[in-house]
Amino acid sequence: MNAEKLFDMNQNVEGILIFNGGEATVDSSFFYFTQLTRGLFEGSYVFLTRKNLKVITSQLEEQTARSEDLDVMVFSSNKDKNTILKELTEDMTFIGLNYSGLTYKDFLNLKEILPDKEFIDVGESIMNLRQIKTEREIGKIREAAKIVSEVAEVIPEKLKEGMTENELAALVNYEMMKRGASSPSFDTIAAFGPDTAEPHFTGGVRKLKKGDVVLIDFGARYERYCSDMTRTFFFGKPDKEMMDVYQTVLQAQLAGIKAVSEGKNGKEVDREARKIIDSSRFSGRFIHSLGHGVGLNVHDHPALSPSYDFFLKENMVVTVEPGIYLTGKGGVRIEDDVVVKKDGCEVLTTAPKELQII
């Protein structure tokens, strides 16, 4: 990763420390700069200067860090770690931190270790860097998208009358990992019938029956990078209203994808999709933003929203996911991941999305 750009954005900063707290406080930026694909790296740091990157980690992670040909400094105790931090920053005054990746306790601990330093928040600059993906990053997201695309194609054959939503979610997770995912990129949403009207539905025990809408929102994590896709199916022939909902959402999604290109404001892309829905009899039933960024986090940054100015740049990866939700009856959402190009976009998630009745 190009650390020089980060220092260009923060001219006063002499060094940058990125702390990865562990399971409860993972800082994805630690893995952005190192591109480490394995290991937990609890309590570890990345130390950046304009020309160098060092990983400060415990003996538990030494072998993993060295396998990636990184400059590694190993500590055996907290006292040892603190000494390393003091020595590395000895001749510096202004140290950059990613405030959003630190707990308050961790921040106070750093102030105690390095009491003579001035800390500067460089988190926004890091996120600006992370929005535009390198070819290496896009390759990982492309593989994560390939996994979910393949899984989406086998979902119809997995649908059985009487199965629960949680059972389907587990099957989808298994199919992703069988194809090379290290894990789901978020808790898989599997919803049947009226539950599909809740955009963030989780943890369902409803049993599948004929006539139900089936909505699956899922993503794969591949070498720490995420995909995010939604497909909606009909288990048995739906009524005309739900078929109209599906076709309206599909047309809105195609319009949104067509509107994506470098230089477009996310508001404008959202508007192109939203006007399809709002010109139909389902006006007002699209109740969330059109899309978000995807990367090391499944919601990497905001992107396509009616209330947020965000100008798209080449090699950003964003979702396009309109939906219509009819309370008490059901909902439809169709979602794909796309890479922004100069004159359009590349759709990474390639599973069919024409209306399917199973």
CATH number, domain containing residue 147: 3.90.230.10
For 145-159, the pLDDT digits (tens) are 999 999 999 999 999
Q: Tell me: do 123 and 151 sit in the same domain.
A: no
Q: Tell me: do 176 and 309 sit in the same domain.
A: yes
Q: DSSP secondary structure string, 285-335?
A: ---S-SEEB-SSSSS-SEEEBTTB--B--TT-EEEE--EEEETTTEEEE-B
Enumerate the β-bridge partners of residue 355. Answer: none
Which CATH number does the domain housing residue 85 bear?
3.40.350.10
Determine the straight-line distance between the first and last CA of the chain, rounded to whole angstroms.
Answer: 46
Among the candidates 131, 163, 184, a domain finishes at: 131
- Tokens at 146, concatenated: 């390939």
pLDDT attached to residue 139: 98
- Tokens at 248, concatenated: 């309206």
Q: Tell me: do 32 and 142 sit in the same domain.
A: no
Q: How many domains does the chain have?
A: 2
For the entire predicted model, the pTM comes to 0.95
Task: Calculate the average pLDDT of the chain.
Answer: 96
358 in a structural domain: no
- Tokens at 192, concatenated: 């049947």
Mean pLDDT of 114-121: 97
Among the candidates 101, 131, 161, a domain finishes at: 131
Task: Give the pLDDT band of residue 203 (cuts 50, 70, 90).
Answer: confident
Residue 112 has pLDDT above 90, yes or no: yes
- Tokens at 140, concatenated: 């990982």
Residue 318 has pLDDT above 80, yes or no: yes
Q: Tell me: do 89 and 119 sit in the same domain.
A: yes
60 in a structural domain: yes
Q: Which domain holds residue 7?
A: 3-131
Q: Tell me: do 144 and 120 sit in the same domain.
A: no
- Tokens at 260, concatenated: 């994506």
d(CA 20, CA 8): 24
pLDDT attached to residue 1: 62
pLDDT attached to residue 143: 98
Q: Please tell me what DSSP assigns to residue 91.
A: T
pLDDT attached to residue 79: 96
pLDDT attached to residue 69: 87
Q: Tell me: do 16 and 151 sit in the same domain.
A: no
Q: For the purposes of burial, counting CB atoms within 10 Å of the CB of 321, is it exposed (0-12), middle (13-18) or buried (19 or more)? A: buried
164 in a structural domain: yes
- Reported as type and span, the H/E element at residue 194 is none
Q: Tell me: do 87 and 208 sit in the same domain.
A: no
207 in a structural domain: yes
353 in a structural domain: no
357 in a structural domain: no
For 19-73, the pLDDT digits (tens) are 999 878 899 999 999 999 999 999 999 999 999 999 999 999 999 999 888 999 9
pLDDT attached to residue 163: 98
Mean pLDDT of 210-227: 98
Produce one character per residue of 189-201: b if its CB has 16 or more CB atoms within 10 Å, e if not.
bbbbbbbbbebeb
Among the candidates 103, 131, 159, a domain finishes at: 131
For 170, phi and psi rounded to 5 degrees? -65, -40
Q: Tell me: do 123 and 150 sit in the same domain.
A: no
Q: Tell me: do 118 and 177 sit in the same domain.
A: no
